[in-house]
């Protein structure tokens, strides 16, 4: 994978920010010496395994644990009556204590609600014994009719949760749909389609896991966890157990991917915390892959009726989205508040005068909804697919329709028709840059020649705006502590949450520039709540901007202190001191210099040499507060595919991304985020699917059935960059989620473009070979019927 265009950050500079500095994490990760949760070993450690429901819905009549307890090496078997009463408070900082939430018991109590629902927890001397014992737990169920199809279950009488009539979790809406009817009625062209997206999930390389160790004498809990937010995990545990927050310590070392799934503790995590208080030694639970695909949560399962009205020239007059989301049985967090963004962002980067939405959220007897890299992504899928369909019905090229309707810089700042404020975005610029990389006109010529040869190649695009570094109360501040040691080496303490997004390297580069020190002298300490300042962790593409703000707030005072000490020692005015790469010099004394180690020596050990008013030591803490509600990033994806109409195979020939995430702290890190998200998006469009049969049994619980993209399915991803500073620190914007947002609609539209001569319309994901073959066959049948005058039922 390579960057296609040169980027401004590659220019020679004395600054580390903007350079392709080597990732400090790589050596330990590529040599296999990272520390993941399963690498943690504690004295006398016990191991947990869950007994899970084999049916999608049913009453628990009786549980017999006697045989399991009799097995040698089994320490305990916990049921709902043992753990659930231990819950003191259960709520997430992201939502707040008083937010309306959905049920989330640690263990199933009285009724199971999906295949994989944890019913009991077995604790034994090792995982092998625990698994053997779990098979000896006998559970008697009374099967009940499951709600497998969330859409069919909405408004039904079979209820996932008795307290939610019609299986409706909740709903949110904009202005009444009827308000737009006059616009649609008077439009030259109206297009309306229901777009469906399949259930799939984050599937991080490292599954969920935790080690919890309770110290009864001190009443303290220590946890080692695979998490995106160590401080939220600490706060949640303290609330859950009813202990003081300073009595809980979370240690996060390396985490092998999170993608939103590990931002908040789930039900099994609660069980580990609650059970640890009842055990004499640490308790470890490591999820296996089958458990993960069955119980760790699903995302993206939703559909929506999208409507757009156009005038005769292809200008968009109005748009609406009637959206329904599958939340599964136990969504985390409650989807009602977090998923309003689907409707608010449905207009995307287009000039749409009138619009509205309705979002409804429906329970089903399947695994619970979790966050996944751009959880609002359906807005882009629905909008971009309906744009392509509309363009073809009007008789225009989808590229031209987008050009005609896309926001320009001279129209900013502005509000979209749902009330979202836009600024500092460049959708048209990224769109044109991506098409230039493709050479769009040349592609259309190549496509025409291919069609004459019986080949089906197509191009699809998606342009989107991405909210990053949002000022949710829990996520609106970030702290940092910087300690310059007596040796002159620098330790930077931030909250952490790095899951492969290279926050260590990022923090080091930011701190080196903010202080003026050598990059190799900076070390980052993250993920240990005992020593790091509070922070919101990784999520919502917030880390780059927020960590930059925290380090800048903290470093500014320290740098002033360094300059003051140097000026005093060099006997020059402070304005004359230059401090670059850990060395202080003065213009009037070019032959004299002072290293940071010498300055630190004065600060710690020769305090009598300090200037008046400068305190001893060189350490400081600071906290940054977000200054705007949202920092907007944007990008365009362009995908080129070839479709084999006989086998249904889709080959992605090219995939181009033009991204505007502001100035890049480290282009290698930024591009890595784009690559990873894009690959996940391609997988979501073509391969990944968490499938349930009509009885609610999951049928894709191994990687033999749940297919992930590999190097053979993904082309070289070509990149272009446009840098428009945002309103936050350093002008930095987030970049973590965009690849997974933009790739699926671009691939879907490329397939639709390839098959357009056959009359194929793409409205449902994933585009597997069997789906493609069926679509082609149906289109050919319609053509044949139209030729003969036959009416197909």
Q: Tell me the pLDDT tens digit for each residue of 323-373.
A: 999 999 999 999 998 889 999 999 999 999 999 999 999 999 999 999 999
pLDDT-derived band of residue 497, with 50, 70 and 90 as boundaries?
Answer: confident
Question: What is the predicted pLDDT for the residue at 352?
Answer: 98
Residues 236-290 pLDDT 10s: 999 999 999 999 999 999 999 999 999 999 999 999 999 999 999 999 999 999 9
Q: Looking at the predicted structure, is the pLDDT value of residue 379 above 70? A: yes
C-alpha–C-alpha distance, residues 352 and 727, integer Å: 25
Specify the pLDDT at position 184: 98
Q: Is the pLDDT of residue 471 over 80?
A: no
Q: What is the 3-state secondary structure (H, E, C) of 52-121?
A: ECCCCCEEEEEEECHHHHHCCCEEEEECHHHHHHHCCCCCCCCCCCCCCCCCCCCCCCCEECCCCCEEEE
Residue 101 pLDDT greater than 80, yes or no? yes
Please enumerate in sequence order all residues whose Cβ is within 8 A of that of 694, keeping only pairs 6 or more positions apart, or say none. 148
pLDDT attached to residue 783: 84
Residue pLDDT, tens place only, 210-237: 999 999 999 999 999 999 999 999 999 9
First CA to last CA distance, the chain: 48
Q: Up-side HSE of residue 74: CA atoms within 13 Å toward CB?
A: 22
Residue range 713-737: average pLDDT? 96
Reply yes or no on whether the pLDDT at 611 is more than 50: yes
Does residue 404 contact residue 313 with C-beta atoms inside 8 Å? yes
pLDDT in tens, 123-140: 999 999 999 999 999 999
Rounded Cα distance between 299 and 293, Å, is 12
Q: pLDDT grade, residue 3 (50/70/90)? A: very low
The model's confidence at residue 9, banded by pLDDT at 50, 70 and 90, is very low
Say if CB 683 and CB 744 are below 8 A apart: no
Q: How confident is the model at residue 792 (pLDDT cuts 50, 70, 90)?
A: low
- Whether 28 shows a pLDDT value over 90: the answer reads yes
Q: Given a cut of 60, is residue 7 above it in pLDDT?
A: no
Q: What is the mean pLDDT of residues 489-503?
A: 93
What confidence score (pLDDT) does residue 787 get? Answer: 75
Does 784 score more than 90 pLDDT? no
Torsion angles phi and psi, residue 641, rounded to 5: -130, 160
pTM to 2 decimal places: 0.96
For the chain, give the mean pLDDT.
96
Average pLDDT over residues 19-35: 94
Instruction: Measure the CA–CA gap between 341 and 499, rounded to whole angstroms.
Output: 24
């Amino acid at each position: 994978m390579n960057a296609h265009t040169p980027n401004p950050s590659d220019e020679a500079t004395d600054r580390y920010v903007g350079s392709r500095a080597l990732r400090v994490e790589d050596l330990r990760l590529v040599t296999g010496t990272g520390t993941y949760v399963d690498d943690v070993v504690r004295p006398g450690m016990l191991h947990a395994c869950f007994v899970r429901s084999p049916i999608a819905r049913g009453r628990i009549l009786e549980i017999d644990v006697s045989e399991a307890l009799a097995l040698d090496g089994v320490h305990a078997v916990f049921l709902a009556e043992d753990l659930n009463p231990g819950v003191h408070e259960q709520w997430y900082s992201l939502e707040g204590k008083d937010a309306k939430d959905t049920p989330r018991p640690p263990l199933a109590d009285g009724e199971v609600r999906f295949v994989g629902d944890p019913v009991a927890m077995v604790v034994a001397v090792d995982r092998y014994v625990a698994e053997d014992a779990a098979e000896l737990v006998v559970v008697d169920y009374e099967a009940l009719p499951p709600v497998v199809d969330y859409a069919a279950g909405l408004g039904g009488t079979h209820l996932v949760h008795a307290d939610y009539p019609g299986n409706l979790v909740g709903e949110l809406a904009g202005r009444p749909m009827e308000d737009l009817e006059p616009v649609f009625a008077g439009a030259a062209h109206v297009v309306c389609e229901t777009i469906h997206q399949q259930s799939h999930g984050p599937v991080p390389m490292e599954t969920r896991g935790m080690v919890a160790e309770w110290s009864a004498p001190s009443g303290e809990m220590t946890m080692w966890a695979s998490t995106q937010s160590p401080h939220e995990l600490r706060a949640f545990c303290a609330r859950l157990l009813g202990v003081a927050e300073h009595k809980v310590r979370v240690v996060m070392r390396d985490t092998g991917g999170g993608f939103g799934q590990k931002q908040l503790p789930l039900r099994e995590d609660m069980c580990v915390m609650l059970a640890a208080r009842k055990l004499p030694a640490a308790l470890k639970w490591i999820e296996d892959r089958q458990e993960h695909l069955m119980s760790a949560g699903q995302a993206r399962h939703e559909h929506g009726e999208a409507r757009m009205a156009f005038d005769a020239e292809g200008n968009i007059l109005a748009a609406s989205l009637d959206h329904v989301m599958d939340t599964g049985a136990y969504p985390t967090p409650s989807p009602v508040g977090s998923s309003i963004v689907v409707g608010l962002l449905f207009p995307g980067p287009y000039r749409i005068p009138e619009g509205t939405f309705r979002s409804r959220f429906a329970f089903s007897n399947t695994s619970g909804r979790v966050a996944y890299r751009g959880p609002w992504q359906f807005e882009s899928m629905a909008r971009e697919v309906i744009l392509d369909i509309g363009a073809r019905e009007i008789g225009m090229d989808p590229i031209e329709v987008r050009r005609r309707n896309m926001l320009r810089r001279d129209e900013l700042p502005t509000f979209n028709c749902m009330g979202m404020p836009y600024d500092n975005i460049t959708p048209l610029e990224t769109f044109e840059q991506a098409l230039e990389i493709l050479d769009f006109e040349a592609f259309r010529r190549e496509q025409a020649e291919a069609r004459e040869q019986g080949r089906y190649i197509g191009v699809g695009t998606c342009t989107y705006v991405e909210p990053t570094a949002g000022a949710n109360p829990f996520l609106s501040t970030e702290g940092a502590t910087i300690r310059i040691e007596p040796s002159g080496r620098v330790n930077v303490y931030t909250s952490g949450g790095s899951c492969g997004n290279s926050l260590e390297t990022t923090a080091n580069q930011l701190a080196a520039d903010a202080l003026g020190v050598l990059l190799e002298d900076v070390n980052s300490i993250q993920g240990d709540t005992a020593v790091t300042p509070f922070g919101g962790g990784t999520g919502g593409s917030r880390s780059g901007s927020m960590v930059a703000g925290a380090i800048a707030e903290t470093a500014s005072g320290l740098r002033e202190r360094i300059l003051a000490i140097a000026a005093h020692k060099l006997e020059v005015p402070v304005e004359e001191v230059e401090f670059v790469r850990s060395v202080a010099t003065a213009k009037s004394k070019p032959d004299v210099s002072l290293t940071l180690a010498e300055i630190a020596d004065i600060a710690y050990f020769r305090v009598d040499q300090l200037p008046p008013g400068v305190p001893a030591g060189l350490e400081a803490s600071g906290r940054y507060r977000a200054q705007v509600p949202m920092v907007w990033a944007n990008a365009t994806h362009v995908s080129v595919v070839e479709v084999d109409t006989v086998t249904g195979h889709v080959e992605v020939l090219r995939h181009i991304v033009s991204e505007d995430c502001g100035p890049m702290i480290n282009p290698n890190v930024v591009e890595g985020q784009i690559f990873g998200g894009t690959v996940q998006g391609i997988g979501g469009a073509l391969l990944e699917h968490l499938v349930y049969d009509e009885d609610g049994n999951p049928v894709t619980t191994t990687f033999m059935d749940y297919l992930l993209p590999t190097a053979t399915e993904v082309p070289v991803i070509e990149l272009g960059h446009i840098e428009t500073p945002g309103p936050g620190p350093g002008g930095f914007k987030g970049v973590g989620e965009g690849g997974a947002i933009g790739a699926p609609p671009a691939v879907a539209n490329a397939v639709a473009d390839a098959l357009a001569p056959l009359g194929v319309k793409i409205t449902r994901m994933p585009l597997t070979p069997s789906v493609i073959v069926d679509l082609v066959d149906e289109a050919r049948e319609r053509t044949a019927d139209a030729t003969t005058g036959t009416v197909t039922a």
